[in-house]
C-alpha cells in the first residue's frame, strides 16, 4: 500500500470545457518541492510554433466506427487550404464540450452518435495520462506510476458527490489510479485552486491576515466563485458557500453561431461543424481573434466588422439557405456585424457573472472585509468583461478588481500547489446537509401522517453536518450505533443529503439518498455489547468512512448510489 510519504510527484489536471492541461512537481522525502512545471508541448502543434500553449483543446476526433483518430491540438492542426478548392474532408466526428454533460444541463451539446460522455472523458484522460508519464519519466526516471503519483483534479464548485465520483471512475478507467478507491486522488474546486495561487502571491497585493478576497474563475463552460479569508501563517479558510453556473466564454461563441445562422440560414453552421470540422474551427478561430478577444464594449472604439465569407469560410456558400442567398449576393458575400450585434453575444454571460459575484459578496455578510475580486480563467481576459466588473464593483468603492499575471493557468498552478501543501486550506463551507436514516416511533403530536410507515414508525433524518457550516477539511462526525443481529458480518447505513438546513424525514421532497456506508465487522467481535463507533469525514469533497470498536479499526466503505 502506498502511504502519503511514498508520493513523489504531484500532478494537477485541469480538465476544462474548452481547454485542458496539467502541471507537475516533484516532492522529496522531506516533503519539500522546488517548482511547478506546466505542460506546454502538445502533440499536433507545430514544433516551431513560438506561442507557448499551456492547455490543449478539449476535443476528440473519431472515425465512423468510433475509433479515436485524433485528440487535443491534433484535431485543430490546420488541414488544407480553406480559401481555395474545398477538398472533401475525411469522414470523421468530433466530440467537443463533453465536460458539460457533468453539469446537469437540460440541453447539453450533442455528441457523436453512440458515444457516451464518460467514454469521451476516459479517452481524453488516457491521452493526458500518456503525456504525464512521458513528461515525468523524462525528468525523474524510475518512479512508479501511478503508485507514487498524487493526482489533483480541479472541478467546478457546483459538482456534487456524484459528479466527483464519476470523475474518480473515469480517472481509474483511464489508468490514472491503481484502484477505484485510491487515496492518491484529491479534489479541489476551480475557484479554490485559483485562490491558493493568489495566496501564494499575496505579497504583491495588500493582503494580510484577516483579509478576504473573492475569486471568480471565468472559463469556457462555467464560472466558479468563492470567498476566502487569510488566517494565521498564510493558510486559507473558505468563507462562503461556493457557487457556480454554466456561464462561460463558449456561450458567446454559441450566440455568434446563432447570429451567423440568422444571416446564412438555420443549421448551416451546425452542418459545417458536423461535416467539416476544421472549416468550422477556422471560422470560430476567426471569430475569437478578430471579434471576441478584442471587444471592449465601448462603442467609440468599435468599427463595424465586415466578414468576407469568401475569405473566412467559403464552404458556407455551398449550404446557404435559398431565401438568404439573394441578399448575400447583393452584399457580395460580406456579412456586417454592428456594435449591438456583438454586444448581445456577450451580455447574457457577462450579466450572469456580475449576478454571481454580487450574490457571493452578499452571502459573505461583511462586504467591507473583501478587499479584492480576482478574475481568472480564459474568459476573464475579455476586456469587456473586465470593464463591466470594474464599473460595477470598483465604482461602488468597495473592492479592487485584479486580473493576476497568469489568469489562464492560475487554476492549474493553484491545484498543483494544493497537492503539494495539503494543509494550506483549513476550512471549507458545506454545500449540503448530510445525515443518516434513523427509524423511530411515529409521534402523533410532532409528525405528519404522510411520513408514517405501516408499522407505526417514521424514517427520520439524523443530521451529521449542516449546509453553510464552516468545517475543517478533515472534519469527522462520530456516532455510536448498536449493530442489529444478522447472519452477515456487517452493518450498512443509508446516507442522505439535502439543500435544507434542518430536514426531518428522509422522504421529504428536498432530501435525496446519497449511498451506503458498509462496515465489515465479524459477529465474534461484537462482544460484550453490539455497540460500534463509526465516523464519516466531510470537508475533503468526498465522504470517507471509518469504524472502530475497542480501539480496533474495521473496514468501512462508502458506496454512492449512481
Ligand atoms: N481575450 C479573451 N477575450 C474573451 N474570451 C477569451 C479571451 N481569451 C480566451 N477567452 C475564452 O476563454 C475560454 C477558455 O477559458 P478557459 O481555458 O479558462 O476555459 P476552460 O478551462 O476550458 O473551461 P471551464 O473551466 O469552464 O471548464 C474560451 O471560451 C475562450 O474563447
Ligand atoms: Mg477551467
Checking if the pLDDT of 78 tops 70, the result is: no
pLDDT digits 0-9 by tens, 285-300: 999 999 999 999 999 9
CA distance 171 to 457: 42
Q: What is the mean pLDDT of residues 450-458?
A: 94
CA distance 176 to 171: 5
CA atoms within 13 A on the CB side of 496: 24
- Per-residue pLDDT, 89: 59
- Per-residue pLDDT, 149: 97
Residue 239 DSSP class: -
Checking if the pLDDT of 77 tops 90, the result is: no
Phi/psi region, residue 160 (left: phi>0; alpha: psi -120 to 50; beta: rest), is: beta
Place of cell 446564412: 264
Ligand with smallest separation from the Cα of 99: 1
What spacing in Å lies between the alpha carbon of 536 and ligand 1's midpoint?
Answer: 37
- Per-residue pLDDT, 4: 65
Q: What is the mean pLDDT of residues 252-266?
A: 96
Asked if residue 288 has its Cβ within 6 Å of ligand 1, the reply is yes
Task: Give every CB contact of residue 110 below 8 A, 6+ residues apart in sequence.
Answer: none
Specify the residue with its C-alpha closest to ligand 1, atom 25.
Answer: 219
Asked if residue 248 has its Cβ within 6 Å of ligand 1, the reply is yes
Task: Decide: 501 and 512 in contact? Cβ < 8 Å.
Answer: no
DSSP secondary structure string, 258-317?
HHHHHHH-TTHHHHHHHH-HHHHHHHHHHHIIIIITT--S-GGG---EEEEHHHH-TTHH
Lowest mean pLDDT among 317-326, 428-437, 547-556: 547-556
Task: Decide: 494 and 473 in contact? Cβ < 8 Å.
Answer: no
Q: Give the dihedral sign, CA 470/473/477/483.
A: positive
Cell of 285: 478561430
Pocket test for ligand 1, best of 98, 158, 194, 248 (most atoms within 8 A of CB): 248
What spacing in Å lies between the alpha carbon of 38 and ligand 1's midpoint?
Answer: 18
Ligand with smallest separation from the Cα of 287: 1
CA distance 266 to 269: 8
| H/E run at residue 419 | helix 410-420
pLDDT digits 0-9 by tens, 316-342: 998 999 999 999 999 999 999 999 999
Specify the residue with its C-alpha closest to ligand 1, atom 31.
Answer: 249
Asked if residue 378 has its Cβ within 6 Å of ligand 1, the reply is yes
Task: Give every CB contact of residue 173 below 8 A, 6+ residues apart in sequence.
Answer: 122
What spacing in Å lies between the alpha carbon of 291 and ligand 1's midpoint?
Answer: 14
Task: Decide: 500 and 434 in contact? Cβ < 8 Å.
Answer: no
Confidence of residue 525 (pLDDT cuts 50, 70, 90): confident
Give the atom of ligand 1 at the shortest distance from the alpha carbon of 383: 3
Report the predicted TM-score, pTM, of the whole model to 2 decimal places.
0.91
- Per-residue pLDDT, 7: 93
% residues pLDDT > 70 (the chain) = 94
- Per-residue pLDDT, 108: 82
Place of cell 453561431: 257
CA–CA distance from 23 to each of 27, 140, 359 (Å)? 13, 15, 32
Ligand with smallest separation from the Cα of 102: 1
3-state SS of 240-271? Answer: CCCEEECCCHHHHHHHHHHHHHHHHCCCHHHH
Alpha-carbon torsion, ordered 233, 235, 237, 238, to 10 deg: 150
Confidence of residue 84 (pLDDT cuts 50, 70, 90): very low
What spacing in Å lies between the alpha carbon of 374 and ligand 1's midpoint?
Answer: 16
Pocket test for ligand 1, best of 102, 379, 387 (most atoms within 8 A of CB): 379
Q: What is the mean pLDDT of residues 12-27?
A: 96
Asked if residue 362 has its Cβ within 6 Å of ligand 1, the reply is no
Specify the residue with its C-alpha closest to ligand 1, atom 9.
Answer: 378
Q: What is the mean pLDDT of residues 30-42?
A: 88
Give the atom of ligand 1 at the shortest distance from the alpha carbon of 377: 18
Asked if residue 297 has its Cβ within 6 Å of ligand 1, the reply is no
- Per-residue pLDDT, 2: 57
Asked if residue 21 has its Cβ within 6 Å of ligand 1, the reply is no
Place of cell 502506498: 2
Checking if the pLDDT of 3 tops 80, the result is: no
Residue 519 DSSP class: E
pLDDT digits 0-9 by tens, 212-247: 999 999 999 999 999 999 987 679 999 999 999 888
% residues pLDDT > 90 (the chain) = 67
Nearest alpha-carbon partner for 253 in 275, 269, 266, 267? 269
Checking if the pLDDT of 98 tops 70, the result is: yes
Q: What is the mean pLDDT of residues 6-11?
A: 94
Q: Give the dihedral sign, CA 318/321/325/326.
A: positive
Looking at per-residue confidence, does 58 or 107 come out higher? Answer: 58
CA distance 298 to 62: 42
Specify the residue with its C-alpha closest to ligand 1, atom 21.
Answer: 16
What spacing in Å lies between the alpha carbon of 377 and ligand 1's midpoint?
Answer: 6
Pocket test for ligand 1, best of 22, 251, 293, 378 (most atoms within 8 A of CB): 378
Asked if residue 407 has its Cβ within 6 Å of ligand 1, the reply is no
What spacing in Å lies between the alpha carbon of 48 and ligand 2's midpoint?
Answer: 27
Give the atom of ligand 1 at the shortest distance from the alpha carbon of 252: 29
Checking if the pLDDT of 86 tops 70, the result is: no
What spacing in Å lies between the alpha carbon of 379 and ligand 2's midpoint?
Answer: 10
Phi/psi region, residue 104 (left: phi>0; alpha: psi -120 to 50; beta: rest), is: left
What spacing in Å lies between the alpha carbon of 195 and ligand 2's midpoint?
Answer: 13
| H/E run at residue 185 | strand 185-189
pLDDT digits 0-9 by tens, 299-311: 999 999 999 999 9
Task: Kindly report the backbone phi and psi dihedral angles of residue 273, in degrees, each rounded to the nearest multiple of 5, phi listed first.
Answer: -65, -40
Specify the residue with its C-alpha closest to ligand 1, atom 29.
Answer: 249
Asked if residue 18 has its Cβ within 6 Å of ligand 1, the reply is yes
Asked if residue 292 has its Cβ within 6 Å of ligand 1, the reply is yes
Task: Give every CB contact of residue 449 below 8 A, 6+ residues apart in sequence.
Answer: none
Q: What is the mean pLDDT of residues 337-363?
A: 96
Cis-peptide into 346, omega within 30 deg: no
Give the atom of ligand 1 at the shortest distance from the alpha carbon of 408: 18
Q: What length does the chain have?
A: 562
The packing angle between helices 161-173 and 117-139, to 10°, is: 60
CB atoms closer than 10 angstroms to residue 220: 21
Nearest alpha-carbon partner for 12 in 416, 344, 377, 388? 416
User: What are the residue boundaries of the structural domains of the chain, listed by start?
Assistant: 4-189, 430-560
Asked if residue 377 has its Cβ within 6 Å of ligand 1, the reply is yes
- Per-residue pLDDT, 30: 78
What spacing in Å lies between the alpha carbon of 349 and ligand 1's midpoint?
Answer: 12
> Reading across the β-sheet that carries 68-71, which strands appear in turn?
68-71, 59-62, 93-96
Instruction: Name the CATH architecture for the domain at 4-189.
Output: 2-Layer Sandwich (3.30)
DSSP secondary structure string, 322-377?
HHHHHHHHHTTTEEEE-HHHHHHHHHHHHHHHHHHHHHHHHHTS-GGGEEEEEEES
Q: Which CATH number does 430-560 carry?
A: 2.60.34
pLDDT digits 0-9 by tens, 178-214: 999 899 999 999 999 999 999 988 888 888 888 999 9
Residue 560 DSSP class: E
Ligand with smallest separation from the Cα of 349: 1
pLDDT digits 0-9 by tens, 115-162: 999 999 999 999 999 999 999 999 999 999 999 999 999 999 989 888
CA distance 139 to 134: 9
The beta strand positions in 385-538, using DSSP E, are 400-402, 425-429, 433-441, 457-465, 470-472, 475-482, 490-498, 511-520, 531-538
Checking if the pLDDT of 422 tops 70, the result is: yes
Give the atom of ligand 1 at the shortest distance from the alpha carbon of 55: 17
**DSSP β-ladder status, 531-538 and 475-482:** antiparallel
Place of cell 522531506: 30
Task: Decide: 68 and 174 in contact? Cβ < 8 Å.
Answer: no
Q: What is the mean pLDDT of residues 440-463?
A: 94
Amino acid at each position: 500500500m502506498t502511504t502519503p510519504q511514498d508520493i513523489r510527484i504531484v500532478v494537477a489536471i485541469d480538465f476544462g470545457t474548452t481547454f485542458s492541461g496539467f502541471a507537475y512537481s516533484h516532492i522529496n522525502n522531506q516533503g519539500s518541492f522546488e517548482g511547478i512545471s506546466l505542460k506546454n508541448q502538445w502533440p499536433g502543434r507545430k514544433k516551431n510554433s513560438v506561442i507557448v500553449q499551456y492547455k490543449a483543446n478539449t476535443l476528440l476526433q473519431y472515425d465512423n466506427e468510433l475509433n479515436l483518430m485524433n485528440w487535443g491540438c491534433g484535431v485543430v492542426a490546420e488541414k488544407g487550404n480553406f480559401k481555395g478548392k474545398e477538398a472533401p474532408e475525411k469522414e470523421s466526428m468530433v466530440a467537443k464540450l463533453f465536460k458539460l454533460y457533468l453539469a446537469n444541463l437540460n440541453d447539453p451539446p450533442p455528441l457523436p452518435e453512440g458515444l457516451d460522455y464518460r467514454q469521451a472523458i476516459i479517452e481524453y484522460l488516457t491521452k493526458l495520462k500518456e503525456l504525464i508519464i512521458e513528461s515525468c519519466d523524462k525528468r525523474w526516471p524510475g518512479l512508479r506510476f501511478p503508485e507514487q503519483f498524487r493526482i489533483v483534479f480541479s472541478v467546478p464548485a457546483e459538482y456534487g458527490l456524484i459528479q466527483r465520483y464519476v470523475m474518480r471512475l473515469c480517472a481509474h478507467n483511464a489508468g490514472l489510479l491503481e484502484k477505484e478507491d485510491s487515496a492518491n486522488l484529491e479534489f479541489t474546486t476551480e475557484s479554490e485552486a485559483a485562490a491558493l495561487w493568489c495566496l501564494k502571491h499575496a505579497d504583491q497585493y495588500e493582503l494580510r491576515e484577516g483579509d478576504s478576497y473573492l475569486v471568480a474563475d471565468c472559463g469556457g463552460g462555467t464560472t466558479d466563485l468563492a470567498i476566502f479569508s487569510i488566517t494565521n501563517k498564510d493558510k486559507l479558510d473558505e468563507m462562503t458557500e461556493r457557487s457556480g453556473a454554466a456561464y462561460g466564454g463558449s456561450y458567446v461563441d454559441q450566440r455568434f453561431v446563432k447570429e451567423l445562422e440568422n444571416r446564412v440560414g438555420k443549421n448551416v453552421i451546425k452542418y459545417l461543424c458536423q461535416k467539416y470540422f476544421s472549416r468550422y474551427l477556422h471560422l470560430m478561430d476567426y471569430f475569437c481573434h478578430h471579434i471576441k478577444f478584442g471587444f471592449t464594449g465601448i462603442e467609440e472604439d468599435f468599427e463595424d466588422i465586415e466578414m468576407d465569407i469568401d475569405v473566412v469560410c467559403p464552404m458556407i456558400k455551398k449550404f446557404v439557405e435559398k431565401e438568404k442567398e439573394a441578399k448575400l449576393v447583393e452584399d457580395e458575400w460580406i456579412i456586417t456585424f454592428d456594435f449591438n450585434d456583438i454586444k448581445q453575444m456577450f451580455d447574457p454571460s457577462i450579466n450572469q457573472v456580475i449576478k454571481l459575484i454580487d450574490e457571493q459578496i452578499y452571502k459573505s455578510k461583511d462586504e467591507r472585509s473583501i478587499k479584492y475580486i480576482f478574475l481568472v480563467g480564459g474568459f476573464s481576459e475579455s476586456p469587456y468583461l473586465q470593464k463591466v466588473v470594474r464599473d460595477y464593483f470598483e465604482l461602488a468603492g468597495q473592492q479592487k478588481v485584479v486580473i493576476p499575471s497568469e489568469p489562464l493557468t492560475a487554476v492549474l498552478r493553484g491545484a498543483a500547489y494544493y497537492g503539494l501543501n495539503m494543509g494550506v486550506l483549513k476550512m471549507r463551507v458545506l454545500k449540503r446537509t448530510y445525515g443518516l436514516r434513523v427509524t423511530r416511533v411515529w409521534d402523533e403530536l410532532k409528525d405528519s401522517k404522510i411520513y408514517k410507515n405501516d408499522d407505526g414508525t417514521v424514517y427520520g433524518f439524523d443530521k451529521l453536518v449542516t449546509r453553510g457550516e464552516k468545517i475543517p477539511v478533515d472534519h469527522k462526525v462520530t456516532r455510536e450505533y448498536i449493530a442489529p443481529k444478522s447472519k452477515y458480518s456487517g452493518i450498512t447505513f443509508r446516507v442522505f443529503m439535502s439543500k435544507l438546513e434542518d430536514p426531518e424525514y428522509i422522504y421529504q421532497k428536498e432530501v435525496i439518498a446519497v449511498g451506503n456506508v458498509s462496515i465489515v465487522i465479524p459477529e465474534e467481535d461484537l462482544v460484550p455489547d453490539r455497540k460500534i463507533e463509526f465516523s464519516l469525514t466531510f470537508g475533503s469533497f468526498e465522504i470517507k468512512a471509518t469504524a472502530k470498536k475497542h480501539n480496533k479499526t474495521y473496514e468501512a466503505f462508502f458506496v454512492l448510489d449512481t
